[in-house]
Amino acid sequence: MTDWRDFPKLELHLHLEGAAPPPLVRRLAAEKGLDMVGVFDEAGHYNSNDFTSFLRTYERVSTVFSTPDDYRALTEAVLTECANNGVIYAEIFLSPTSLGYDPAKWTDYLAAIEEGADQAEQAHGIVARLIPVAIRHHGPEQAVIGAKTIMSVPRGRMTGFGIAGDERLHQPKDFTPAFKAMAEAGFRLTAHAGEFGGPESVRAALDDLKVERIGHGVRAAEDADLLVRLAAEGQVLETCPGSNVSLGVYPDLASHSIGALLAAGVKCTVSTDDPPFFHTNMTSEYTELEATFAMGEAQFARFARTAVQAAFCEPEVKANLVAHLDKSGVPGA
C-alpha cells in the first residue's frame, strides 16, 4: 500500500462549514454558550446517519460561526488540513446563509475568509478559490437574493457559483434565473446533481442551469445514453466517493460507480465534500481507491490534471499548478 499523503492533489468540491474541525466547533460553541446536544456522537464525531440528519447537523454546526473572525479561523483551519493531505489547490463552497444576504455583512465575512485563505497560502502554499452556493431547500427566491448579494460585493477569490442542499426538493430549472444572472456576471457554474437525484437530475443541471461541472453526478452511471453524452461533451464530475458511501448512496466503495464512469470515458475528479462528517480526508480517499479499485499513480495523475483543466481559476494559476505537478514528477506532462 502506497502512502498518498504527499501526492499533489486538487480538491474541487469542499464545503467550508462541512469541513469544520470538531474541536474548533466545540470550542466556539462553549465560548458562546451554544447548545450542541445531539450534534456529536459519543466518540466526538458529528452525528450524521443519513442525508436528512446530515443536513440537520450541518446547519447546527454552521450556527457556531457567527463573527468574521470565526470564518477567518475556519478557513485557515480547513485549508491547513487540506495542505496536510497534499492538496495544492482547493475550491471551497460557501453557504453562510445564517448571515442572511445583507451585502454589508457579506463584505465583512468575505474579507475575513480571504484573510484566512491568505494565511493558509503563506504558511503552506495552498491556493484557494471560493464558490458561493445557493441552498436548494431554501428555494429559488432566496437563490436570486443570494446571487444579487454576491454580485454586489468585492469578488476576491470568488470565481464560481453553485447549488447544494436537498436535491429531493425543487427542480434545477427553478434556479435558472439565479444561475443565468451569475453566468452573465462572469461566475463559472457547477451544481450538485446525480447524488440523491437520478440521471435525469444530471441532464437537468446541464440543460437548465448550463453548468460546466457536476457536483457528484455519480448516478449518471445508471443511464448508458447519459454516459455517452458526458464522455462526448467532456463534462467533468466532482466525485466524492467517501461522502457517497457515508450517506448511503452506495452500500460500500466497491459498489461505487467511479470505476464505471471512468471506463465509459467520463472525466472525474476526487474530493471529500464534508470530510469530518464522513470520516475522510484526501489521503484516505486515495488509499481507499487504491485498495478497492487498484487505482494508482497513473489514475491519480489523471484526477489531478483533469482538475486543473476544470478548475475555476485564472490561466496563470493553472500554469503554476501544471508546473507544480510536472516538477513533482506527476505523470502526464
Instruction: Write out the catalytic residue numbers.
Output: 195
Spatial neighbors of 294 by CB under 8 A, at least 6 apart, are none
By CB under 6 A, name the one of 273, 302, 325, 330 that touches ligand ADE.
273
C-beta closer to ligand ADE: residue 178 or 330 = 178
Q: Does 165 bind ligand ADE (CB under 6 A)?
A: yes
Determine contact, residues 215/164, Cβ cutoff 8 Å: yes
Q: Does 213 bind ligand ADE (CB under 6 A)?
A: no
Q: Does 195 bind Zn ion (CB under 5 A)?
A: no
CB-based closest residue to ligand ADE: 164
Is residue 85 left, alpha or beta, with left meaning phi > 0 and alpha meaning psi from -120 to 50? alpha
How many residues of this chain interact with ligand ADE, rule: CB under 6 A?
10
70 binds, among ligand ADE, Zn ion, none (CB under 5 to 8 A by kind): none
Distance separating alpha carbons of residues 101 and 146, to the nearest angstrom:
6
Residue 192 CB, nearest approach to ligand ADE (Å): 5
DSSP string for residues in 286-329:
HHHHHHHH---HHHHHHHHHHHHHH-SS-HHHHHHHHHHHHHTT
Q: Which string of x and - marks every residue 180-199 that binds ligand ADE (by CB under 6 A)?
A: ------------x--x----
C-beta closer to Zn ion: residue 226 or 249 = 249
By CB under 6 A, name the one of 134, 144, 164, 230 that touches ligand ADE.
164
Residue 93 CB, nearest approach to ligand ADE (Å): 7
User: Is the C-alpha dihedral spanning 224, 166, 269, 177 positive or negative?
Assistant: positive
Q: Does 274 bind ligand ADE (CB under 6 A)?
A: yes
Helix axes 68-84, 22-32, angle to 10 degrees: 160
**DSSP one-letter code for 274:** S
213 binds, among Zn ion, ligand ADE, none (CB under 5 to 8 A by kind): none
Q: In the structure grid, which three cell numbers stand for residue 186, read together?
A: 462572469
**DSSP one-letter code for 195:** S
For residue 112, give Cα distances in angstroms to 27, 57, 216, 317: 19, 24, 29, 22
- Touching Zn ion, residues 235-274 (CB under 5 A): 273
Residues lying near Zn ion in the complex (CB under 5 A) are found at 273
Residues lying near ligand ADE in the complex (CB under 6 A) are found at 15, 18, 58, 164-165, 192, 195, 243, 273-274
